[in-house]
Amino acid sequence: MTERFNGSFTQQEPIPEAGIEAAIAVMRHGRLHRYNTAAGEHSETALLEQEFAASVGSQYCLAVASGGYAMATALRAVGVTPGDTVLSNAFTLAPVPGAIASLGAIPVFVGVTESLTIDLDDLEAKLGEARVLLLSHMRGHICDMDRLMAMCDAAGVTVIEDCAHTMGAAWNGTPSGRHGAIGCYSCQTYKHVNAGEGGFLVTDDPHLAAKAVMLSGSYMLYERHLAAPPKEAFDDIKYHIPNISGRMDNLRAAILRPQVADLATQCRRWNDRYYALEEGLRDTPGLTVIERPDEETIVGSSFQFLLLDWAASAVRDVVAKCAARGVELKWFGAAEPVAFTSRYDSWRYAPSKPMAASDRVLAGIVDLRVPLTFSLDDCALIARIIRDEVSRAHNRGMA
């Protein structure tokens, strides 16, 4: 019997009832803009920022319109200007080089290892090429942050973390987003909390926080924040920082607050599913599972494996055979970017030189989403289907 999976790889869970109720209350009172508050009222957005800051242990938090906006704001706040170069990952998604390009700055791509993290040797070699690193914890894989921070600190390179896939994750007990100067997160539907769109920026630096608040479009209403620095931090900058509106609104904040409160539980549920997939795929001939270091606290909201050194036609065949059985795999090696999948040489606005070792890894990366609507049995079934198709293709190759 040929098994088939009938679930959807893009179906999220519903918004928690508490979030729906809170959103309806916001719509009923009509004060959707974050600075539109009744006397004595704190806006949903201000409360969300306070709660998210507490969850990662940061001094300051700013909620904004998207993860991409959070990254662009972080880059502006640390002083990136047009023509500057910014180091970033070759293995990431389009909003990351896009955030750099939105400032008229130029990405300098750093390679990827077989652990799917940034190649720290390549980074070390390129540290002299920029003052800022926009580090993407792509698909939740966290590099040796101790080594990375020591290298960047020594070279005077400011680190901004893209935590779109690591909200709730940690390295050596420190939450992802809390190693660098600024951490950026996304609240877009496919990330770890779902407001459709949205983002956060966290930092302990009052100067960076004040700049980010003003950049996001606070006008002179920055005192209505609960997770921003005191008003003195704005004295020197308030006439100098342009307003580039990208605020969060109270409707999304209302939807997000219960999700931030539930995040640890959701992360455990993701990991149960991740480890079910891992167990089902381990020791499949020809397939490499990504070993996760002990220092890493993961959030398994997606799963990757490598078909290293496979012929492109054989990988395409596995992807097609799995698709025919209801299992949607994404292949980073495809020549043309498909759906959300892309790679450094598909961003033609950003110059890049070929990186042979990274190209070998990228050509082997196969990726799948793990929505929480999957049961553990679904994950075991998906793993059986992949194992079956990979084994067959591998045996054909061997024959």
Ligand X SMILES: *Cc1c(COP(=O)(O)O)cnc(C)c1O
Query: Contact, 229 vs 42, CB < 8 A?
Result: no
Considering only residues 188 to 217 of the shown chain, the ones binding ligand X according to CB under 6 A are 188, 199
Sketch the per residue contact string, 160 through 179, with ligand X: x for CB under 6 A, - otherwise. Answer: --x-xx--------------
Considering only residues 288 to 347 of the shown chain, the ones binding ligand X according to CB under 6 A are none
Residue 343 Cβ vs ligand X, minimum distance, rounded to whole Å = 12
Q: Which is nearer to ligand X, 95 or 177 (CB)?
A: 95
Considering only residues 105 to 144 of the shown chain, the ones binding ligand X according to CB under 6 A are 136, 138
93 touches ligand X (CB under 6 A): yes
Q: Is 89 exposed, middle or buried (0-12, 13-18, 19+ CB in 10 A)?
A: buried
Which pairing describes strands 365-369 and 199-203: parallel, antiparallel, or unpaired? unpaired
Q: Is 292 exposed, middle or buried (0-12, 13-18, 19+ CB in 10 A)?
A: middle
Among the listed residues 23, 26, 64, 96, the single contact to ligand X using CB under 6 A: 96
Question: For residue 11, what are the CA distances in angstroms to 7, 153, 323, 372?
Answer: 8, 41, 17, 8
Residue 69 Cβ vs ligand X, minimum distance, rounded to whole Å = 7
Q: How many residues make contact with ligand X (CB under 6 A)?
A: 15
88 touches ligand X (CB under 6 A): no
Q: Spell out where the chain has E strands.
A: 60-64, 85-89, 106-110, 132-136, 158-162, 170-171, 174-175, 182-186, 199-203, 288-289, 296-297, 302-306, 330-331, 365-369
92 touches ligand X (CB under 6 A): yes
Stretch that binds ligand X, among 89-97, 143-151, 218-226, 275-283 (CB under 6 A): 89-97
Stretch that binds ligand X, among 117-125, 158-166, 170-178, 278-286 (CB under 6 A): 158-166
What is the rounded distance in angstroms from the CA atom of residue 170 to the CA atom of residue 173?
Answer: 5
> Which residue in the shown chain puts its C-beta closest to ligand X?
67
Where are the alpha helices (H) located in 236-355, listed in sequence order? 250-261, 263-281, 312-324
Angle, vertex CA 6, rays to CA 336 and CA 339, nearest 5: 20
Burial 320-356 (b: 16+ CB within 10 A, else e): ebbeebbbbbbbbbbeeeeeebbbbbbbeebebeebe
Stretch that binds ligand X, among 19-27, 90-98, 105-113, 329-337 (CB under 6 A): 90-98
Residue 185 Cβ vs ligand X, minimum distance, rounded to whole Å = 8
Tell me which DSSP letter residue 105 carries. -
Among the listed residues 68, 111, 183, 371, the single contact to ligand X using CB under 6 A: 68
Q: Which is nearer to ligand X, 318 or 334 (CB)?
A: 334
Tell me which DSSP letter residue 270 carries. H
Among the listed residues 95, 111, 175, 364, the single contact to ligand X using CB under 6 A: 95
Q: Which is nearer to ligand X, 53 or 71 (CB)?
A: 71
Enter the tokens of residue 287: 């397939």
Residue 184 Cβ vs ligand X, minimum distance, rounded to whole Å = 7
Q: Which is nearer to ligand X, 200 or 234 (CB)?
A: 200
Among the listed residues 34, 35, 67, 105, the single contact to ligand X using CB under 6 A: 67
Give contact residues for ligand X (rule: CB under 6 A): 66-68, 92-93, 95-96, 136, 138, 162, 164-165, 186, 188, 199
